A and B are shown apart, each in its own frame.
Chain A
Amino acid sequence: MSGDFLDQIFIRGKQWLLSLLAGSPDLLLQIASSLINIAAVMGVFLTLFALISVLERKILGRIQNRYGPNRVGPFGLLQPAADGIKMLIKEDIVPLRADKVVHFLAPLLMVLPAILALGVIPYGRNMTAFAIDGGILFVFAVGSTTELAVFMAGWGSNNKFSMLGAMRAIAQMVSYELPLTLTVLPVVMIVGSLSPDAIVAAQGGYAHGFFPRWFVFTPWGGAAFVLFFISGLVESNRTPFDVPEGESEIVAGHMTEYSGFKYATFFMAEYFGMFAISGLAVTLFLGGWHAPLRLLEVVPSYLWFFAKLSALLFVFIWIRGTLPRTRVDQVMNFAWKFMLPMAFTCILSAAVWHYQAHGLAGWLWSLAVVAGVYAALSWLLDTRRKFAPRTYRFAE
């Protein structure tokens, strides 16, 4: 069957490459297999990074009613190459009083967790680079080391803006790590496994023959997906939560004292973090590589994964082009007063759904739980009752 062949074409390619090494010791085969996986993941995501960096500027240009880069190559598509060369030949400045070793290691440690996290995500049927039993926990474990890298960048630069930016970044990353982890828990509870492959497998098939069983279509899953996405925005320091690098207040935050290729590495870390968060969201809530309709299953699975990934990346860019930057206190208040209770509500709602045997009654009950808590929270956190209504004296 041709559909099946296209679906497994990369697996077959890898098996063919490994068959060239047939007869060699097991150790060599293992290493070769790992190297092929690493090369594939890195190749795909470096290409995607180049593509997204130019697409982001073009989409932002469209949103802001201008053209965006369109001079280098056809439609400006060779812009990443020009940017790369520019970054490489720029002077690398290290401040005189900087902590040299820490200053040097910070960008490397920043990009490492994002790349490692990309390894455990299933990109298609049988296409997980590093299948591990506790894959979801692995993503969070390596993701939590990013904070240390941010601190190293801030401390190593020996600059007050860097330090302030790093402290802001760590404060908000620590705060939003709680909702990020807690919103994953309902999925883990329902599936009963921490393995990304098992989570994707649990979302296969269609209810009533046509409706996909993705978790985003359940009340708790939908709410958890939105919360997860907001936390992901914060974790990757994207607008509207980019207070750590707010230009108008603290130059560029922890990246102030970085130039040339080290700065490019930070840029890369931000994008790889975005890919990792989006890939995780697709895996956890959007059905992974499953097709939305039974008819469309002829399209290879990895294409579905990357279609969903691109859609989420577009939302990232769209939000950046649309929303203004929040204030520091607003970010923190939002985390502790809204995100955390809502994350716990998702867990409760998933439990209700589970004990009503995943049926229509459970669907309605869990929707009632989420909606009730949301209404109560928004009533409690409504600040309009505290302040007099704003009057616009000159803008009428």
Chain B
Amino acid sequence: MTPTLQHFLIISAALFSIGLLAALSRRHAIFILIGVELMLAAANLNFVAFWRFGPVTPQPVGVMVALFSIAIAAAEAAVGLALIIAVYRHYRTTNVDRLTSMKG
């Protein structure tokens, strides 16, 4: 069996759903970040899979988008974790359901 485009798409769909599960079910800020990272990885996998199995283009668009998205994800993780630390310092909790001071 040679893996085809659909195999990769199903894998990345599963990865995306697991990320969604982590972000929705676990109300801990770091688990939400882990979920977001998983979803980003799934999207990247899709880009590279479409580049590999799609029509030949003069520029490797899928690879480029994946590279840029990895760079953005690194920036996102840094800022997100800094936010988590700032929130923890202020409220002494990382459970996002308890950050309710803006609730009317």
Decide if A and B touch, CB cutoff 8 A. no
